[in-house]
């Protein structure tokens, strides 16, 4: 069986050169691209123009910090046991960004890029990704703001309109993941990269949580509190 060759086009280096996706890292990238631009460049091979940069950075920034989430708690509880390995605590926090939370963004992007109409999508799907929020209703202020930035940068197009039409038809709020899924389509991003935007953004936020945890810890208190609650129905003797 002929095997696929081992090949990567992301980067290479020699004694005096470091090249990322065809650009000289020190001379062409450092000091020029911000972290969001670099993420866009990694994912698409293209340096974003000013408007793409503004929109993409806004999408990623939206996902950085959500306060106390299961993901932040998993990271903090992991850090309690292994403070010498904060990378492992970030890893633990990222591991839960699956189908329930960040996955809906990917689902929205896939759905909106399928070429189907709002009616078809509604008919075919019981649960539509990117709609609904337990707290933010009738408007998710992040989605509203992201669509606004999309308009300002000229990226409010058919995918955004489709997402909003579906929300209207279902009388449900378009949430942040729905908006980001739509914007990813407008920017021409591969839907397979969309979950990744959430993962990289949350890595930023988790580092923030671990820094706070190292100064103002909560994990040990959570542990003892939950342990007591979880076993209070047991007569211990």
Task: Compute the least distance from the CB of residue 49 to its own copies, in Å.
Answer: 14
**Beta carbon nearer to its own copies, 55 or 118:** 55
Residue with tokens 């930035």: 149
Q: Of 158, 111, 157, nearest to 130 (Cα)?
A: 111
Task: Compute the least distance from the CB of residue 61 to its own copies, in Å.
Answer: 5
List the one residue from 47, 51, 101, 122 that touches its own copies (CB under 8 A).
Answer: 101
- The residues facing 13 across adjacent strands are 18
Task: Compute the least distance from the CB of residue 170 to its own copies, in Å.
Answer: 20
Write out the binding residues for its own copies, residues 114-153 only, by CB under 8 A. 135-137, 139, 141-142, 144-146, 148-149, 152
- Helices in the chain by DSSP H: which ranges? 35-44, 50-62, 70-81, 86-94, 103-112, 118-124, 141-152, 158-170, 176-186, 191-215, 219-230
- 159-179: burial string, b at 16+ Cβ within 10 Å, e else: bbebbbbbbeebebbbbbbbb
- Residue 72: both structure tokens together: 């932040």
Does position 188 interact with its own copies (CB under 8 A)? The reply is: no
**Beta carbon nearer to its own copies, 117 or 225:** 225
**Beta carbon nearer to its own copies, 171 or 234:** 234
List the one residue from 18, 47, 122, 161 that touches its own copies (CB under 8 A).
Answer: 18
Write out the binding residues for its own copies, residues 216-235 only, by CB under 8 A. 216-227, 229-231, 233-234
Does position 203 interact with its own copies (CB under 8 A)? The reply is: yes
**Cβ atoms 175, 143 nearer than 8 A:** yes
| String of contacts with its own copies for each residue 20-59, x by CB under 8 A | xx---xxx-xxx-xxxxxxx--xx---------xx--xx-
User: Taking the CB of residue 48, how many other CB atoms lie within 10 A of it?
Assistant: 21
């Amino acid at each position: 069986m002929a095997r696929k060759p081992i090949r990567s086009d992301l980067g290479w280096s020699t004694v005096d050169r470091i090249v990322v996706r065809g650009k000289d890292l020190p001379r062409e990238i450092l000091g020029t691209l911000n972290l969001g631009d670099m993420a866009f460049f990694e994912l698409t091979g293209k340096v974003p123009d000013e408007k793409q940069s503004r929109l993409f950075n806004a999408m990623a920034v939206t996902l950085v910090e959500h306060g106390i989430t299961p993901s932040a708690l998993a990271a903090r509880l992991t850090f309690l046991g292994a403070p010498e390995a904060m990378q492992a605590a970030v890893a633990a926090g990222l591991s839960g960004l699956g189908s329930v939370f960040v996955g809906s963004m990917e689902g929205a992007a896939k759905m909106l890029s399928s070429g189907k109409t709002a009616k078809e999508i509604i008919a075919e799907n019981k649960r539509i990704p990117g709609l609904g929020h337990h707290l933010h209703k009738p408007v998710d202020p992040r989605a509203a703001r992201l669509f606004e930035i999309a308009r300002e940068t000229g990226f409010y197009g058919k995918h955004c309109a489709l997402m909003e039409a579906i929300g209207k038809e279902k009388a449900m709020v378009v949430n942040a993941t729905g908006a980001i899924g739509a914007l990813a389509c407008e920017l021409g991003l591969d839907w397979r990269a969309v979950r990744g935007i959430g993962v990289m953004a949350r890595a930023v936020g988790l580092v923030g949580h671990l820094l706070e945890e190292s100064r103002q810890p909560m994990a040990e208190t959570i542990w003892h509190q939950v342990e007591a609650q979880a076993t209070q129905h047991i007569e211990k003797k």
